């Protein structure tokens, strides 16, 4: 249950920036100064943050002099560096962000309001200010809060509205004219809400409560050795890494030429978190199960998500088709839904990715490319060694592929008495997977579930369920692995056992009783 207008990161300390601003005002300091704050709560250059305005989110990276467009507003994030997460900023002239000062509302004044709205006619003539007048106010540099106040004063029907209608009117006008942005720290909950609201297809329509159920049923915790196969843009992987806190190991199985971790990059994990992250190609799992896997098999595969082409002495760096088509949200927004495509803005390439001219000579560029490919090959071999131990602490599957062959093949890498969770947008593939697991054996406590979610508006005297709700967030199949009985696997013993059991359970024939006729 969420309170209307509450930040998605509401469990974080949001009063700290307000107290800091009051202290700065009393000491005569400027709000744009950078106070000394702990590193975890302070926004730094290069950090990934989430912009929030009302119920709209967008993930971006903080970079100086980089123009950001969000909800039809453009601004720069230079002034947010040094402030704490949860601070609300106001967009001023020139795209500059300044911390918004919170005004104390006086409770002594009584609002003049009507009893009902029956006599109010919406004919468009109640507002004296025209669009040209409002535009002139904006050109003069008047802030959105003052524009809203003038709209209230020039409305002939505002005082006749009920108190609830007045609050609704003010909230609507503030959303339209006040340019305020809240900076939040990325988390699993915020990013999952952001993806599900704007681009649910990128995460296979996985709702945020379903993701929370996956993490709970999979027993994701620090120190685990987990296997994950997901095609949700790296959201499930990032959620697992956040919960494990950099302790333990995660082996990601990926289809195609390389793993897609666009959503994982939005978390902004430190480099220490990446030391326990391994990847392994999905098409080499069968050879690993059969014992025919070798290091030479990786030599024929591409080692990176990019390919080098040499023509006329020019080195070109091209993205693979898998990488280009996986997340067009960050590169080629759809013109038909410009607002929906503002979900996230991620720098796809890190600092080590530079143009060939900046790197130096062509030979040095190729050597750097080969070095990264060799490092990736070593990581693949390390992942193969971890999988070969077959003692993983859990398995998470959330992909667009059919779950049955994936789960039946990957369960062999999981140790006994360990959980596994499979997500699918539809229940029919999971029903087939459920039947195959019952026939195969080696699992217990199989359960197919679907969570039901409904948001509520919590306001004084008008708390009620919201009119719009989600129709479904996907289905989960969970269970635990157990050691299979090898005796029953033998066909002859199983046959003899079945015959013996049938003899034991066979009911004896009913005894015949001789009936004597009584003579009369």
The pLDDT value recorded for residue 208 is 94
192 vs 267: CA distance, rounded Å: 11
End-to-end CA distance of the chain: 85
Contact between 261 and 237 under an 8 Å Cβ cutoff? The reply is yes
Task: Please count the CA atoms within 13 angstroms of the CA of 39 that sit on its side-chain side.
Answer: 1
Given a contact cutoff of 8 angstroms between Cβ atoms, the answer to whether 86 and 13 are in contact is: yes
CA neighbours within 13 Å on the CB side: how many for 340? 12
Task: Check residue 397 and give its pLDDT.
Answer: 96
Distance of CA 195 to CAs 21, 49, 205, 457, Å? 32, 15, 9, 22
Tokens of 218: 């999979």
Q: Write out the two tokens for 513.
A: 């009783």
Domain ranges of the chain: 41-102+123-185, 198-293+375-481
Q: Which fold has domain 198-293+375-481?
A: Rossmann fold (3.40.50)
User: Cβ contacts of residue 180 below 8 Å, gap of 6+?
Assistant: 53, 88, 89, 90, 91, 100, 144
SS3 427: helix
| 475 CB-near residues (< 8 Å, 6+ apart) | 423, 424, 425, 426, 427, 430, 448, 449, 450
Q: What is the pLDDT along the chain (520 residues), one digit of tens a residue?
A: 444 333 333 333 434 444 444 444 444 444 443 444 445 688 999 999 999 988 899 999 999 989 998 888 889 999 899 899 999 998 887 888 888 877 655 444 556 777 777 777 777 778 888 888 888 887 777 777 788 888 888 887 888 888 888 888 888 888 788 788 999 999 999 999 999 998 999 999 999 999 999 999 999 999 999 999 999 999 999 999 999 999 999 999 999 888 999 999 999 999 899 999 999 999 888 888 888 887 766 655 444 443 333 333 333 333 333 444 344 344 333 433 444 444 444 444 444 444 444 545 788 888 888 888 888 888 889 999 999 999 999 999 999 999 999 999 999 999 999 999 999 999 999 999 999 999 999 999 999 999 888 889 898 888 999 888 888 889 999 999 998 765 344 444 444 444 444 444 444 455 555 555 544 4
Range 454-486 burial, b when 16+ CB lie within 10 A, else e: eeeeeeeeeeeeeeeebeebbbbbbbbbeeeee
pTM of the model: 0.72
pLDDT at position 511 is: 52
Extract the tokens encoding 204: 């296979």
CA distance 410 to 15: 47
The reply to whether domains 41-102+123-185 and 198-293+375-481 share a CATH topology is no
Q: Does domain 41-102+123-185 have CATH number 3.10.330.20?
A: yes
Measured CA to CA, the distance from residue 269 to residue 244 in angstroms comes to 12
- Give yes or no for a contact between 226 and 415, defined as CB atoms under 8 angstroms apart: no
What pLDDT shows up at residue 512? Answer: 55
CB 434 within 8 A of CB 460: no
- Residue 71 pLDDT: 83
Q: In the prediction, which pLDDT does 146 show? A: 80
pLDDT at 403: 94
């Amino acid at each position: 249950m969420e309170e209307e207008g509450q930040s998605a990161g509401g469990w974080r300390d949001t009063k700290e920036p307000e107290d800091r601003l009051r202290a700065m005002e009393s000491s005569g300091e400027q709000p744009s100064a950078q106070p000394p704050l702990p590193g975890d709560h302070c926004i730094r250059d290069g950090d990934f943050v989430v912009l929030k305005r009302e119920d709209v989110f967008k993930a971006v990276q903080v970079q100086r002099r980089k123009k950001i467009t969000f909800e039809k507003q453009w601004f720069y994030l230079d002034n947010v560096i040094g402030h704490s997460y949860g601070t609300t900023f106001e967009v001023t002239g020139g795209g500059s962000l300044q911390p918004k000062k919170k005004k104390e509302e006086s409770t002594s004044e009584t609002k003049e309001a009507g009893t009902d709205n029956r006599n109010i006619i919406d004919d468009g003539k109640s507002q004296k200010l025209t669009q040209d007048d409002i535009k002139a106010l904006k050109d003069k540099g008047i802030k959105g809060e003052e524009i809203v106040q003038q709209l209230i004063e020039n409305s002939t029907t505002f005082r006749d509205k009920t108190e609830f209608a007045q609050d609704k009117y003010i909230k609507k006008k503030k959303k339209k004219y006040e340019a305020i942005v809240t900076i939040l720290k990325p988390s699993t909950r915020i990013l999952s809400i952001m993806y599900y609201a704007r681009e649910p297809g990128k995460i296979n329509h996985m709702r945020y409560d379903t993701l929370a159920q996956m993490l709970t049923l999979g027993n994701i915790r620090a120190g685990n050795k987990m296997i994950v196969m997901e095609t949700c843009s790296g959201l499930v992987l990032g959620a697992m890494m956040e919960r494990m806190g950099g302790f333990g190991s995660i082996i990601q199985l990926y289809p195609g030429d390389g793993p897609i971790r666009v959503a994982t990059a939005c978390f902004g994990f430190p480099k220490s978190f990446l030391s326990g992250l391994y990847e392994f190609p999905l098409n080499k799992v069968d050879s690993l199960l059969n014992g025919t896997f070798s290091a030479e098999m990786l030599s024929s595969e591409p080692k990176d998500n990019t390919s080098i082409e040499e023509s006329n002495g020019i080195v070109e760096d091209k993205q693979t088709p898998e990488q280009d088509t996986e997340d067009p949200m960050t590169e080629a927004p759809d013109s038909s839904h410009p607002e929906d495509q503002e979900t996230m803005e991620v720098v796809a390439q890190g600092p080590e990715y530079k143009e060939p001219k900046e790197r130096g000579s062509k030979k040095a560029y190729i050597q750097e490319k080969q070095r990264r490919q060799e490092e990736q090959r070593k990581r693949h071999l390390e992942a193969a060694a971890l999988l070969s131990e077959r003692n993983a602490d859990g398995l998470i599957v959330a992909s667009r592929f059919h779950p049955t062959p994936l789960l039946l093949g990957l369960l062999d890498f999981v140790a006994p008495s360990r959980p596994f969770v499979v997500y699918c947008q539809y229940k029919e593939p999971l029903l087939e997977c459920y039947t195959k697991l019952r026939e195969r054996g080696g699992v217990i406590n199989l359960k197919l579930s679907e969570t039901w979610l409904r948001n509520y508006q919590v306001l004084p005297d008008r708390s009620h369920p919201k009119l719009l709700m989600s129709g479904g967030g996907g289905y989960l199949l969970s269970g635990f692995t157990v050691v299979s009985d090898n005796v029953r696997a033998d066909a002859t013993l199983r046959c003899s056992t079945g015959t013996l059991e049938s003899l034991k359970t066979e009911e004896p024939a009913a005894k015949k009783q001789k009936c004597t006729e009584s003579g009369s």
